[in-house]
Structure formats: C-alpha cells, structure tokens
Amino acid sequence: AQRVTQPEKLLSVFKGAPVELKCNYSYSGSPELFWYVQYSRQRLQLLLRHISRESIKGFTADLNKGETSFHLKKPFAQEEDSAMYYCALSAPGSARQLTFGSGTQLTVLP
C-alpha cells in the first residue's frame, strides 16, 4: 500500500530565507505526486502537481524516484506563504485517488 510521510509537523523560517518542506513516499511503481495547501480560514486547495512541472507562487517540487521524495521548495519565503501544506500521492489505476501525508505547518516570520 502507498504511504506518504511528512517528517516535520512544524517548520518556521524567516522572511526571505529559503524553505524546503519534505515529503517522502512509499510506492513501488510510478505515482503522481501533489502538494495541497490550506491558508488560514481557507479551504484545502491544490498548489502544484509534479506532472505539470510548473512553479506556483514561487514554489517548485521535483520528483526524485531514487530517493522516493517530492520536496517542496521556495528560494525566498514570504509571510503570506504561512499555511498548512500536505503532500499527496496517487497510484496509477488506483480507484481511491489520493493518499495524504499528515501535513507541515509552515510559519514565515517577519
């Protein structure tokens, strides 16, 4: 069965500093990976997905199959990036869609 691990429950960085939110997964095949974000008082929403290879709000994430990781990175954190971030995995052909990690609460300090 697939599993997603986010080792950091809480992460604090100063404004302008680089930030990396870690995500590791266990799945033997080729999964699809996603990052979802929940800002304060807002609903959970998609941030980015690895197949799009896009940068959203300055965030990027690279799928590393060798290390089974999908870390989320931003070179210069902003205060508005403070939010809860969830990594999620979908196995091809899976009828049950997404498996979520437990989330990382990012706080960007002024």
Rounded least distance, CB 6 to another protein, Å: 8
Nearer to another protein, 60 or 90 (CB): 90
Rounded least distance, CB 110 to another protein, Å: 25
Binding site for another protein (CB under 8 A): 4, 9, 32, 34, 36, 43-46, 49, 86, 90, 95-103
Rounded least distance, CB 96 to another protein, Å: 6
Contact, 47 vs 39, CB < 8 A?
Answer: no
Contacts for 76 with CB less than 8 Å, ≥ 6 apart: 16, 17, 18, 58
Nearer to another protein, 2 or 68 (CB): 2
Nearer to another protein, 59 or 103 (CB): 103
What one-character DSSP code corresponds to residue 81? G
Neighbours of 20 (CB within 10 A): 14
